Every structure is written in structure tokens, then in C-alpha cells.
Amino acid sequence: MSRRLLPLRVVAGGLGLAAGVVALVAVLGMTGGWTPTGAGPGPAQASPAQSPPGPSTPWPSRRATTSAPRPLSVVGVGDSVAAGTSCDCAPFVERFAELVGTRDGRPTAAANLGLPGLTTGSLAAQLGQPGPSRSVARADLVVVTIGANDLVPLEDQWERAGCDPACMAPAVAAMGRGLAADLARIRALGGSGQRVEVTTYWNVFEDGDVADRQRGAGFADWSDRVTVAANRVICATTRTYGGTCVDLYAPFLSADGSRNPTSLLASDGDHPNAAGHALIARALLAATPR
């Protein structure tokens, strides 16, 4: 197959006044509360306030007064890759949250808002809805995978008459502007304490054996060029908005793009299978500080 470029107890005595001072002195002397002048000290006795508790009165537990840590909230947004389409498995958003919790010894809560077919424009619309906007606003960490569907029209152009870099550039630039709007919205919702991680793609279109079989000669190399261009824009835009760009190209394909990713893809050749989602979760974990 052609392959590529690249979470004091006062004890009130029953003494009457007739007992007089003698009885009081006796009581105080016995309790160690007062010593007559010239008398030597009596046996040392701890007051009730100083006595260590016995077996029936244990020391207060510090643990009992310490509240459990708040779960780390992880929210995923994006397209069918984030949604887990064609996998019938736990998508990478949920897997990643579990890995972070295990590594850091902290409870986590994951919410996956990924939807098949989302573009950068339709993600912007989703982020404007009350439910998703609240989820994103409350999240400690937001994971974003978006942009591939913006580029789908390029496939038709390639099939009709080819699509060189000049043909790709406007669509890739428009995708970048859409991503910028999405990240600006996420940043406005979550504020400066929120961490945002944006993934790239191994391929914005089909890949592996399926692509070779269904798309024919030349498609793998062409789609790789589109993907590399898109990933550059995704990372540059992410950094502009203070996010972390998480590379998926090298984990799936190797740094030079030469590895066949079929074993990481679902039967449609377009979405990750369980192994692919596990790989994405590990890549996100590696990019996330403790």
C-alpha cells in the first residue's frame, strides 16, 4: 500500500457549708487542684481534660472530618471520532477520564458530547445550547476532536478532477477559522482555569486497506497531504487559544506516515476501533500533567 509523507469537669461535691474549709481542702488536695504551703506535691494526676481517651472514647479521626476530593470533570466535544461511531466500544473520552483517575488517584466524571457529522460550524451551534454550554463551563478538562467533516467536499473534487494544494488551501483555512471560533467559545465558557486539549487526525478521510480498496491508487497519498495540512492548522489554532494540541498522526501511522493503520480502524476504515480508541486515550494521558 502506498504510504506517505510524512483527577475541669467541676465535680460538684455534695459538701454542705457545715463541712467547712477542712473538707474543701481535703477535696482539693486529693484532686491535685491545690497544695497547702510547705506541703510536698501529691501524686500526679491528669485532669479529665488532659487524660487520653480509653478504649471506649477513641481519638477523633482526622479522616472523618476531611471531605472527599471533587471528581475531575472531563467533557468531550466533537465529531463521530469523539462519539465512538462504528466502534461498539467505550470511546476515548470515557477511557481517557478513567486513565487520568487511575493515574492521579482521583475520582473522575466523563461526559461525551460528541456527535456524528459535526463540523466546526455545527459544533459552534451545539456550544450555544444550554445543556452543552453548562457542561463545558463546569468542566476541568475539555477534549476536542473536530475539523475533518469540514473537508469532506474535497473528496468529491479529488474524484472529479484532482485537488492540488491550491485546491485544498481554502477549505483548510476555513476549517481553521471555524475551529478558532469554537475554541474562543470554549475558553469564554470555561475560563482560564480550564484545560483544553485538541486532537489532530491520522487521516481526515478513510485510511488503511479500506481506503486502498475503495478509493484506488493515489488516494492514500493525497488524503495524507490534506491531513498534514489540516493538522498544522489545528495545532497552530489550538496554541493561539492556549490549548494543548495532541498529535494522533504519529501514534497511528508513525512519524513518517509509513505504518498501515488498519488494525486500529473499524470496518469502515474511517473511525477507530477499540484498539484505536485505547490508543487515543493513552496519547491524551501522555499529554496531560498530573
Phi-psi region of 11 (alpha: psi -120 to 50; beta: other; left: phi over 0): beta
What is the three-class DSSP state of 217? coil
Q: Is the pLDDT reported for residue 194 higher than 50?
A: yes
Please state, in angstroms and rounded to a whole number, the distance separating the CA atoms of residues 150 and 134: 26
Please report which confidence band the pLDDT of residue 191 belongs to, taking 50, 70 and 90 as the band edges: confident
Please state, in angstroms and rounded to a whole number, the distance separating the CA atoms of residues 34 and 27: 9
The pLDDT value given to residue 5: 43
All 3 cell numbers of residue 250?
504519529
**What are the tens digits of pLDDT across the range 4-39?**
444 333 333 333 333 333 333 333 343 444 333 344
Percent of the chain scored above 90 by pLDDT? 75
**What are the tens digits of pLDDT across the range 155-190?**
999 999 999 999 999 999 999 999 999 999 999 999
Is the model more confident about 193 or about 49?
193
Amino acid at 228: V
All 3 cell numbers of residue 85?
461511531
Q: Which of 236, 244, 250, 245 is CA-nearest to residue 279? A: 250
Q: Is the pLDDT reported for residue 64 higher than 80?
A: no
The pLDDT value given to residue 229: 98
DSSP secondary structure string, 58-86?
Answer: PPPPTGGGSPPPPPEEEEEEESHHHHTTT
Whole-structure pTM value:
0.78
**What are the tens digits of pLDDT across the range 132-154?**
999 999 999 999 999 999 999 99
pLDDT, averaged across the chain: 84
All 3 cell numbers of residue 204?
481526515
The pLDDT value given to residue 66: 59
**What are the tens digits of pLDDT across the range 31-58?**
444 333 344 444 444 444 444 444 444 4
- Residue 178 in contact with residue 121, Cβ under 8 Å? yes
Percent of the chain scored above 70 by pLDDT? 77
